[in-house]
């Protein structure tokens, strides 16, 4: 991404502040990334040591720097404590996103609010016509988040991803997207 098309480092919603993750978030990242309930449907391995969480933070910084991915810490309003993350990867006319949230905050609409905010920001990028995400067929909570965020289920991607927490099983995934009409493009 060029400087003119970069996503903002801070996004505010009614209840949330999304900001770039930082080293002071290390323990909070390890807390959710080491929780097998949080990582069960993820396509990345549960963190077993804090060095993995530190490597994730280093990856986030490098990806911001080269424009390949924007990751935000999800925080509640003025409470700067990380309760999850959401990331988006713009690729030409499309962008995909994913998120993870501390278990105690599930079911409160937080992931939906963060997803809506990120989708809105992505559609401000010139030429982006499609925003999409996937989720495990078994993950009813994520399906609800994506639907409430305004994405529509497109279908099932067969043999889409490897689930490390499920013994490396290769699983199908639902595909969800939101597509902007060509006349709505801001390019």
DSSP string over 71-95: EEEEEETTEEEEEEEEEEEEETTEE
Nearest residue to 152 (alpha-carbon basis) of 127, 180, 128, 126: 180
The DSSP symbol for 115 reads: H
* 45 DSSP 8-state letter: P
Name the CA dihedral angle for 49, 51, 53, 59, rounded to a multiple of 10 degrees. -150
Contacts of 27 (CB under 8 A, 6+ apart): 50
Find how far residue 106's CA is from the centre of its chain: 15
Kindly provide the b/e burial profile for residues 104-131, where b requires at least 16 CB atoms within 10 angstroms of the residue's own CB.
eeeeeebbbbbbbbbbebbbebeebbbb
**Is 138:41 a contact under the CB 8 Å cutoff?**
yes
Question: Which stretches of the chain score pLDDT less than 50?
Answer: 1-4, 187
The CATH number given to whatever domain includes residue 85 is 3.40.630.30
Q: Is 29 exposed, middle or buried (0-12, 13-18, 19+ CB in 10 A)?
A: buried
pLDDT of amino acid 1:
44
CB 97, CB 133: distance < 8 Å: yes
Residue 138 is part of which domain span? 3-184
- Which pLDDT does position 3 carry in this prediction? 39
Total number of domains constituting the chain: 1
pLDDT at 85: 98
Full-model pTM: 0.93
pLDDT for the residue numbered 81: 96
Neighbours of 34 (CB within 10 A): 16
> What confidence tens digit (pLDDT) does each residue in 27-75 have?
999 999 999 999 999 999 999 999 999 999 999 999 999 999 999 999 9
Helices (H), ranges, the chain: 26-33, 36-39, 50-66, 110-122, 140-148
């Amino acid at each position: 991404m060029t400087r003119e098309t970069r996503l903002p480092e801070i996004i505010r919603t009614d209840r949330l502040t999304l900001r770039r993750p930082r080293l002071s978030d290390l323990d909070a990242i390890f807390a959710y990334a080491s929780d097998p309930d949080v990582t069960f449907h993820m396509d990345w391995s549960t963190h077993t040591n804090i060095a993995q969480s530190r490597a994730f933070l280093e990856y986030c910084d490098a990806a911001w720097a080269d424009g390949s991915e924007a990751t935000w810490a999800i925080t509640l309003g003025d409470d700067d404590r990380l309760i999850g993350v959401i990331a988006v990867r713009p690729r030409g006319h499309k962008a995909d996103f994913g998120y993870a949230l501390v278990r105690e905050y599930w079911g409160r609409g937080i992931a939906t609010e963060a997803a809506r905010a990120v989708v809105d920001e992505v559609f401000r990028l010139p030429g982006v016509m499609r925003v999409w995400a996937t989720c495990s067929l078994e993950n009813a909570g994520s399906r609800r988040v994506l639907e409430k965020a305004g994405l529509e289920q497109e279908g099932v991607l067969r043999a889409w991803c490897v689930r490390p927490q499920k013994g490396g099983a290769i699983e199908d995934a639902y595909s969800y997207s939101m597509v902007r009409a060509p006349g709505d493009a801001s390019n």
